Amino acid sequence: MVASLLALVNPGEKVVIFEPFYENYLPGLALCGATPVFVRLQDPDWAIDLDELQKAFDQEPKALILNTPANPSGKVFSLSEMETVAQFCREHGTYVITDEIYEHILYDGCEHINMARLPGMWERTVTISGISKTYSATGWRVGYVMANSGLMAAIRKVHDYLVVAAPTPFQMAGVVAMSLPDSYYRDLKESYQAQRDYLLEIFQGLSIPVLRPSGAYYMMVRIDGLGYKDDEAFAMALVEKAGLAVVPGSSFYHRPEDGRDKVRICFAKSWETLREVRARLQKFLGKA
């Protein structure tokens, strides 16, 4: 992501980001001197506000970062939404940098749409993914980027000075992983969907509203009705009293107050851990 931003975006140019967003995007923009332009997705279904999107493109952004399926919301952009974004980008000459690291983790029959495959988008799209999430190899830091030859030449130059290369054994393991049969990806979806549904059941039983994710392995949970000052106070109490860790929702918004009513939960855990989470949450909330 950083290599792509440094290769395509000059200091002072603007980059559109949908929020809530993965918090590492902002440091990447800071490194290349870009100015973020935020478009807030509307919960509970994280819909695009077309008026806000138009205002963002009125500023003639150089690029747009699109994360689908998204961290932290679990938002999966539909084909119609992708086509809308693509139309704006074509009209304004804007690049799209897509973060598709959760592309195989989808629920309820949702389909992953690759922006580069839409009409007129191959020449202006940089696709980023990797082996971290799909193959549970997060510590290896092996990823890849795809784009047309002109964009790739610029990205390669920057990448060489940032990291040179990932360790060869990890790259070889990635080739093996990406050669797995289709059944692996079906099983992956089913496994994570079962865990997601289990967490949804837990929070429904506790009468805590959840913003239902369609992909990735996170969910945003509303905590504004639980009697805590804000998301950070709730998160600290949960750690200290129940030994459970969540991420404050405010860390995913450029204005922290926009996320004070939420926390992010990761459910990519063992069943033993998830059952223990249930017991601890019930005890913490006095509903055991």
What does the domain layout of the chain look like in residue ranges?
Answer: 2-177, 182-284
Among the four given CATH numbers 3.60.110.10, 3.40.640.10, 3.40.50.11540, 3.40.980.10, the one describing domain 2-177: 3.40.640.10
What pLDDT does residue 187 have?
98
What pLDDT does residue 165 have?
86
Q: How confident is the prediction along the chain (288 residues), in pLDDT tens digits per residue?
A: 999 999 999 999 999 999 999 999 999 999 999 999 999 999 999 999 999 999 999 999 999 999 999 999 999 999 999 999 999 999 999 999 999 999 999 999 999 999 999 999 999 999 999 999 999 999 898 999 999 999 999 999 999 999 888 899 999 999 999 999 999 999 999 999 999 999 999 999 999 999 999 999 999 999 999 999 999 999 999 999 999 999 999 999 999 999 999 999 999 999 999 999 999 999 999 875
What pLDDT does residue 54 have?
99
What pLDDT does residue 211 have?
98
Among the four given CATH numbers 3.40.140.80, 3.40.50.2000, 4.10.520.10, 3.90.1150.10, the one describing domain 182-284: 3.90.1150.10
What pLDDT does residue 275 have?
98
What pLDDT does residue 20 have?
99
What pLDDT does residue 287 have?
76
If DSSP states are collapsed to H, E and C, what string results for the chain? Answer: CHHHHHHHCCCCCEEEEEECCCCCHHHHHHHCCCEEEEEECECCCCECCHHHHHHHHCCCCCEEEEECCCCCCCCCCCHHHHHHHHHHHHHHCCEEEEECCCCCCECCCCCCCCHHHCCCCHHHEEEEEECCCCCCCHHHCCEEEECCHHHHHHHHHHHHHHCCCCCHHHHHHHHHHCCCCHHHHHHHHHHHHHHHHHHHHHHHHCCCCEECCCECCEEEEECCCCCCCCHHHHHHHHHHHHCCCCEEHHHHCCCHHHHCCEEEEECCCCHHHHHHHHHHHHHHCCCC
